[in-house]
Amino acid sequence: MTETRVEFRVSPDRYRHWKLSADGPVATLTMDVDEQGGLVPGYELKLNSYDLGVDIELYDAVQRLRFEHPEVRAVVITSGKPKIFCAGANIRMLAASPHGWKVNFCKFTNETRNGIEDATANSGQAYLAAVNGTASGGGYELALACEHIMLVDDRSSAVSLPELPLLGVLPGTGGLTRVSDKRHVRRDLADYFSTKSEGVSGKKAVQWRLVDEAVPRPRWDETVAERAAELAARSGRPQGAAGVALTPLAKERGDEAITYTYVSARLDREAGKVDISVKGPQDGPPAGIDGARRADFWPLAVTRELDDLILDLRTNETGLGTWVFRTEGDPAQVLAYDELLLASSGDWFANEVLHYLKRTLRRLDVTSRSLIAAVEPGSCFAGSLLELALAADRSFQLAGVFEDKDPDADPAIVTLGDINLGPLTMSNGLTRLQTRFWGDESGYEAAVKRKGEALEAEAAADLGLVTFAPDDIDWDDELRIATEERASFSPDALTGLEANYRFAGPETMETKIFGRLTAWQNWIFNRPNASGPDGALRRFGTGQRAVFDRKRV
Amino acid sequence: MTETRVEFRVSPDRYRHWKLSADGPVATLTMDVDEQGGLVPGYELKLNSYDLGVDIELYDAVQRLRFEHPEVRAVVITSGKPKIFCAGANIRMLAASPHGWKVNFCKFTNETRNGIEDATANSGQAYLAAVNGTASGGGYELALACEHIMLVDDRSSAVSLPELPLLGVLPGTGGLTRVSDKRHVRRDLADYFSTKSEGVSGKKAVQWRLVDEAVPRPRWDETVAERAAELAARSGRPQGAAGVALTPLAKERGDEAITYTYVSARLDREAGKVDISVKGPQDGPPAGIDGARRADFWPLAVTRELDDLILDLRTNETGLGTWVFRTEGDPAQVLAYDELLLASSGDWFANEVLHYLKRTLRRLDVTSRSLIAAVEPGSCFAGSLLELALAADRSFQLAGVFEDKDPDADPAIVTLGDINLGPLTMSNGLTRLQTRFWGDESGYEAAVKRKGEALEAEAAADLGLVTFAPDDIDWDDELRIATEERASFSPDALTGLEANYRFAGPETMETKIFGRLTAWQNWIFNRPNASGPDGALRRFGTGQRAVFDRKRV
């Protein structure tokens, strides 16, 4: 299934599965999946079931609503099919997919659901699930990501999580966590609900907190419009602002390289790594945020490129297990752009750019690749770009310069900015700097005191902002050994190690979804009881019952 | 490996691997593993490596120290072997074990480590790791469970977590979580440390927070004694109190039943379930806590029996996937015993009993079995025993009585007591009642208001204290269907479902260990890169390198 390279770039005129219509403050996203429109051959997307291709369109729509539609204050998600809202992820697709594909697919879907919640919480675009037919599995999980869930009360439409009884797996995209930690469904009712394949409908669904209201069909359209208007009325989106079109990315994709305007990646298949380079801005920022409202505004452009690169590499290049980040440019310019964004915090566009950067860095945090940052002379690991080094599992900063190459260069530096102290939180609710110094207040304070300073390698290492500060003589060897060593370890164990160490400190619904729930689901996906030849996932729809090894582990 | 039935009952006179010596306020637990003393044949326990048998003794020692040694205020854990503190779990044992055995073994080891921390935090028995030789893997994890870690500074002894580089798995018993969330080792240093099989020693280990101090050999004994005395001085343990001997349990173990004095279990292999019955006290409690200091004091006796039963069933009866709990006795008596314990909260023995009950119930929470409670006439689901119903995934309470059997019986009731409102917290730091009503303050308040009332089925169901309240006519069918249905589902998916729904709300180091870390480790254990014929765990020690599927998942 992964033979075909997957592209994440799409636009509304090319959607096959969704219709996006904006009508003043309320937009409607209508799911009407093209059965024949599967991303790869071998399955039909019946009953509004989805695959990665359907979710890529949804992700695009959610992004565009935020940037291109400042006027939209509420988004209704509904179905264009009669009687069915969404049947969840396509089972035949799942059953036929290799383990890694399933896991990556669920991760992306999770990120999009989180993005819906992020738009509701931080963008003044509240999502409303207008569940106008049965929502099962991933279909109900999509509704769970919305602020308000309305279920049509027609004696047949229900919400359900039938994964356990029908497929022998768990709901893979946050369902369990959102049922307990967001909807606050009592644990025993949640347990019962998740074992009942036909689900729960009507008043009982409301009583159990599975949905917010059950509405009879005759009053449906009117009530949906009413609720959407209510949600829209709570929004702080601007009046009369013009949107910023997310114009097509300039991307070149080959077997050995992926290049954009500011971001480029060299795929080193022999070493199993990717060398990623991120360029800082070429000029200073515009005088005010009004001059910035364009897709080629550096922070937006570089974030879009990074976002696309992460998705491309995660899905298409699973054999490249280590990503090495470098930057290139003027740190002062990076900080100047950061400052413009921070100074414009009341502005809807600046707000969107910051939250988009936040989400993209979070994508990096949950990426199952070893991340290394290499801070060299001429780099610009400052402010927002310093987050790449703080997101890395390990970072190296050259002490001094490359004597042979450029003895007169300025030495490599890193610089903390205000942007590192607040807006770019990780899924755990802390900044990367706070997470780094979790339980070490004085270490955190010492680092923050040096904000704005150009820190050379020794100072940065002493402060704990980088891991190692080798000199010219050791530099190449240390980096080579680090990446070679990484390539020699078990990829699975690395994934587990990184998933644990990257998230010190508190947990949130989001970290529970990526950490606890996902890890259990991955284990279950990988067990013969699900994916073996007689497993429930493989047997589904064949008329044969699954054969289970009944031993409890 | 699981052919032999494992017994968890042991006593110091039968220890093969540990020496427990108590010298006034400081006790010393010396690990000196008998190489030939493996629990099952097939491996030698070299270099103070351990298997389940070694850990069963450690668990016993930790328990006895709390009950039998009120005078002990600090416990030194050290090694009786030269140059090696502990090499961790035995690799050959792990490599040869089926998946379920590994997982269960890690769970028990985790619980014992948590028990060490619980003794330090709640019992005035602080643990000191006197690491007098190299501590690797589980050996270092044992040290991590201690309050203070001393490492001998001799240019050879180190602490390490070599699981990832050597075995392609993760440290399985809390290592990663304690390194980041307890020791506050910076994430990049933690990453580096966990990939370096030789570990870190001396001053660097202190600098990186991996240990608290590095002490040269000449000053070792004296410094250990000094630190132990300091820890002991902080304790609130009583002066001159006499210990309570944990006399042998009266246990009969057959193929179809396990019976103790108060607890009995019927193993229903056909239905894949265990019917567990817990008897309340036969008489009222003694007038004061002084009359209670005996192993046959009902709360202590019943807790010990439950504890042993949980461990026995978890290890030896993996095919029995559902446990159905019933109780039998006078609810008023149960509440009277609870009250004695709560009224004696300053007393060391009452404190120990409460914390032991807390730990035993936590064991239930992380047990990978479906838990069902059946509340019938004549039962005593009140106070401490109500926790069994609150720990259940689902509970049934008979509305009324069994008309055919005993029409004149009093109807089944449940009763909340003060003990449900505080001391018996789950791993997430909340009581089971708080977790049940997480996010539903008014539901919680409504239930608490009825404290002390004998609640019949409808009232209890309305309050949300039980799940279902079927009457006489439906009772048998509903219970049968629930257990049959449970037996028809994928055991793995049930384990994942329960592990998620049982822990709504906040996370702690303990829930992170059982939820996040364990789930990742289970996944990794189960992957071919670890456990396949060419996997790292299987290849270890053969001289052949592991062959990895390099695709990142």
Chain B residues 424-453 with CB within 8 Å of chain A: 435-440, 443
Q: How far is CA A198 from CA A160, A189, A207, A299, in A?
A: 6, 15, 17, 47
- Rg of chain B over CA atoms, in angstroms? 24
Model pLDDT for residues A53-95, shown as the tens digit of each residue: 999 999 999 999 999 999 999 999 999 999 999 999 999 999 9
Report how far residue B391's alpha carbon sits from residue B236's, in angstroms, rounded to the nearest whole number. Answer: 31
Report how far residue A488's alpha carbon sits from residue A483's, in angstroms, rounded to the nearest whole number. Answer: 9
Sign of the Cα torsion B248, B254, B259, B265 reads positive
- B142 Cβ contact partners less than 8 Å away, ≥ 6 residues apart: B77, B86, B113, B129, B135
Which of these ranges, A2-16, B208-222, B312-326, has the smallest mean pLDDT? A2-16
Report how far residue B367's alpha carbon sits from residue B386's, in angstroms, rounded to the nearest whole number. Answer: 18
pLDDT bucket at B81, cuts 50 / 70 / 90: very high
Q: How far is CA B437 from CA A148, B390, B463, B511, B512, in A?
A: 21, 11, 10, 18, 21
Task: Enumerate the residues of chain A whose CB falls inside 8 A of the CB of residue B188.
Answer: 392-395, 436, 467
Local structure of A275: helix, strand or coil: strand
Q: What is the largest CA-CA distance in chain B?
A: 79
Task: Enumerate the residues of chain B whose CB falls inside 8 A of the CB of residue A189.
Answer: 467
Q: Model pTM?
A: 0.97
What is the structure's pLDDT at B26?
A: 98
Edge-first strand listing for the sheet containing B370-375: B252-253, B257-259, B263-268, B273-279, B322-328, B370-375, B394-397
Report how far residue A518's alpha carbon sits from residue B499's, in angstroms, rounded to the nearest whole number. Answer: 12
Q: Give the dihedral of Cα atoms B340, B341, B347, B352; nearest 10 deg.
A: 150
Q: Please list the helix, strand and coil fractions of chain B in percent, rounded to the nearest 5, in that order.
A: 45, 15, 40
Question: For residue B173, what is the DSSP state?
Answer: S
Tokens coding B174: 């809390």
* CB pair distance less than 8 Å for B506 and A505: no
* CB pair distance less than 8 Å for B176 and A497: yes
**Consecutive H or E run containing A493:** helix A491-501
Distance of CA A184 to the CA centre of its chain: 24
Task: Enumerate the residues of chain B whose CB falls inside 8 A of the CB of residue A179.
Answer: 501
* CB pair distance less than 8 Å for B497 and A192: no
B331–chain A Cβ distance below 8 A for any pair: no
* Proportion of chain A above pLDDT 90, given as a percent: 98
**Contact call for residues A308 and A251 (beta carbons, < 8 A):** yes
Tokens coding A314: 């995660």
* CB pair distance less than 8 Å for A186 and B487: no
Quick count: other Cβ atoms within 10 Å of Cβ B305?
24
Pairing verdict, β A133-136 and A158-160: parallel
Show the low-confidence residues of chain A (pLDDT under 50).
Answer: 1-2
Report how far residue A376's alpha carbon sits from residue A327's, in angstroms, rounded to the nearest whole number. Answer: 8
What is the structure's pLDDT at A191?
A: 98
Chain B residues 268-287 with CB within 8 Å of chain A: 272
Q: What is the DSSP string of A224-250?
A: HHHHHHHHHHT--PPSSPPP---PPP-
Q: How far is CA B396 from CA A64, A304, B391, B401, B433, in A?
A: 50, 53, 13, 13, 17
Report how far residue B312's alpha carbon sits from residue B305's, in angstroms, rounded to the nearest whole number. Answer: 10
From the list A369, A492, A549, the residue facing B527 with the nearest CB is: A492
Local structure of A130: helix, strand or coil: strand
Q: Summarize the confidence of residues B301-323 as an average pLDDT.
A: 98
Report how far residue A232's alpha carbon sits from residue A71's, in angstroms, rounded to the nearest whole number. Answer: 10
* CB pair distance less than 8 Å for A164 and B436: no
What is the structure's pLDDT at B2?
A: 43
Chain A residues 392-411 with CB within 8 Å of chain B: 392-395
Interface test with B, best of A106, A210, A394, A551 (most B CBs within 10 A): A551
* CB pair distance less than 8 Å for A187 and B318: no
Buried/exposed code over A441-455 (b: 16+ C-beta within 10 A; e: otherwise):
eebbeebeebeeebb
Report how far residue B479's alpha carbon sits from residue B484's, in angstroms, rounded to the nearest whole number. Answer: 8
Task: Enumerate the residues of chain A whose CB falls inside 8 A of the CB of residue B506.
Answer: 507
What is the structure's pLDDT at B345?
A: 86
Determine the residue of chain A that is closest to B552 in CA distance.
A318
What is the structure's pLDDT at A4?
A: 79
Chain B residues 158-197 with CB within 8 Å of chain A: 163-165, 168-170, 176-177, 179-181, 184, 186-192, 194-195
Q: Which residue has the tokens 């020791």?
A: B183
Report how far residue A161's alpha carbon sits from residue A158's, in angstroms, rounded to the nearest whole number. Answer: 10
Residue A93, φ and ψ in degrees, nearest 5 = -60, -50
- A186 Cβ contact partners less than 8 Å away, ≥ 6 residues apart: A208, B436, B437, B440, B443, B464
Q: Tell me how close the Cα of B513 comes to any Cα of chain A, in angstroms.
A: 10
Model pLDDT for residues A208-235, shown as the tens digit of each residue: 999 999 999 999 999 999 999 999 999 9
**Contact call for residues A401 and A424 (beta carbons, < 8 A):** no
What is the structure's pLDDT at A3?
A: 59
Please count the helices (runs of H) and the strands (runs of E) in chain A. Answer: 21, 21
Q: How far is CA B169 from CA A489, B173, B356, B360, in A?
A: 10, 12, 32, 29
Q: Where are the beta strands (DSSP E) in A100-154?
A: 126-131, 133-136, 148-153
Crossing angle of the two packed helices B52-68 and B99-122, in degrees rounded to 10 = 20
What is the structure's pLDDT at B114?
A: 98
Edge-first strand listing for the sheet containing A257-259: A252-253, A257-259, A263-268, A273-279, A322-328, A370-375, A394-397
Determine the residue of chain A that is closest to B516 in CA distance.
A516
* CB pair distance less than 8 Å for A321 and B512: no
Which of A496, A518, A523 has the alpha carbon at shortest distance from B100?
Answer: A523
Q: Where are the beta strands (DSSP E) in B88-234?
A: 88-89, 126-131, 133-136, 148-153, 158-160, 200-201, 213-216
